[in-house]
Chain A
Amino acid sequence: MGAEVLLKLHHLHLELPDGTALLEDVSLNVRRGDALGVVGESGSGKSLTAMSVMGLLPGLKASGSIRFEGRELLGMKDREWRRLRGAGMAMIFQDPMTAFLPVRSIGAQIDEQIRLHERISRREARARTVALLGRMGVPDSEAAAKRYPHQLSGGLRQRAMIAMALSCGPSLLIADEPTTALDVTVQAQILTLLCEIRDSGAGVMLITHDMGVVAQTCTHVAVVYSGLVVEQGPVAAVMARPLHPYTQALLEAIPPLDGPRPDALPTIPGRPPAPDARPEGCVFAPRCRYVRSDCAVRPALREPEEGRRVACVLYDA
């Protein structure tokens, strides 16, 4: 636990201009060399969390605190934040087809990012781009840099996207569902790449809805439900013994690899509440099988065990 905390979200609260709360009280830590998986259903606010760290959500009101390398990001001037974006922290997006500008070669787009943050010549930038692409396992990287996004396969595009994200040596890499648009073999390669990046000392924040992906790549996991973090801890511990009923239900919904095939996978009845219709108390209470009377008061995130935190009345001492 000695590693330096790279990114610390503390009671992050995000709301629409009309006052609807999208995120309520998100607290997370990412350390150097850690990979934090942020897991949740669609609409739970996991992507919003990532975007608010990047400062890419103009028009939404954020409060609380986002500290990155010891500096408070909320309230920072856009000009300064912009200098961090791409250089200090970088983001990989879900669909590499649409995330690149379709009308310029990928090399030109990576060069652009390098030259936005460093004063180097076109030629030097291109040399670095080619080297990066090579390191990401893009074959014939010099020719690949001259190609347009639509000329590359999905896997190569995502590699190029990662190369672009890494081009300025960021200490934090945010990956928003980086493998959802890819097929399984390519997905495994990309995840291996993410592991290597993590091992090289950067912090990784991986947004996904896939528990399997988290198990493969992450060291820590945070489970987000309806704009709140309901459980977090080391991956192995959470996987082995999930504390929050929602995490338990999520893990049960993964089909078993061996043993008899179940007739039907367990599902979680009901659907997550819309941001403007969140229950007063525990947000998961309407779908929870252990629901009881004291769930009407929203439980705080507690630490029942060393390194694990959960927001559920079941673990109130």
Chain B
Amino acid sequence: MRNKLVERAKELLADGTVTRVIGWKRGEFSYDVTPAVFETAEELEKDFVYDGFCGANVSKYLIRESAKEGKILAFLKPCDAFSFNQLLAEHRIRRENVYAVGIPCEGMADIGKIRSAGIDGVTGIREEGEEFVLSTLYGEERIAKKDALAERCLVCKSKRHPVYDELIGEEGEDLPDDARFEAVDKLEKMTAEERFQFWRGELSRCIRCNACRNVCPACTCENCVFDNPDSGLSQKAAADPFEESMYHIIRAFHVAGRCTDCGECSRVCPENIPLHLLNRKFIKDIDELYGAYRAGENAENKNPLVSFREEDAEPSVVHERGRA
């Protein structure tokens, strides 16, 4: 697949369709790829990668890249394509400056999961059927791909690209949502106190590095309230013990209805806090209260939280449910 992408990118560069390509760049150890912009065939040949470790969502970079002169080729996994579409809906990306190529995704591995399976010192990884074969400082190790997959990929929402100019590989389909909401179900079944304790336990590890916010394709405010000294909320660390919780709660509310559940927040969290569960709870609620809705499905629909229909749930319904 990697070679296919490189060949296509070279063609599109050569025929002048695009001037730049955004994708993923080789790292030191197979798993540590970096999103990167490539400008020449040589750069692509040398450093472009596409494999089971290219989890980073490149859509948010297109805000900046599409503002530049010339068209950029963006390789979009299904997740990235949903984010891209949502950003288009929010008028954050100049569509005419992006040539979107949908690419297939079989799920992305999470080096954290490999490490927590007790495999350390990983210096190289190759795929062999349904397994990853890992060269480590302490000998060769194997792990089933499914055991190395990121949580968000284990409950993948869709293999389909809601937007693209061109597709490489076969188009996939939406996947059933049941598994995706299992963890939310579990949280809903807790008592309020249990749920509070669960989140306090998770969020108390937060180091307020802002990685979740900065990586989030739905967080595109030019001046975030948490950085703006005039907002009254600006803070860099916990001034009081509830501060981190407020940060994450406010952020979850702000991206509600716009979050595509790409899972980048949880991927980047250095403390492994399952932040995506906050967003996923909102997604589930919106589905249940206002009918199935998928942010990023298309670039025209208004999200249910900012559009009013007569048959919308009454606020009292929301209120009642909130007490449950």
Do the two chains belong together in a single complex? no
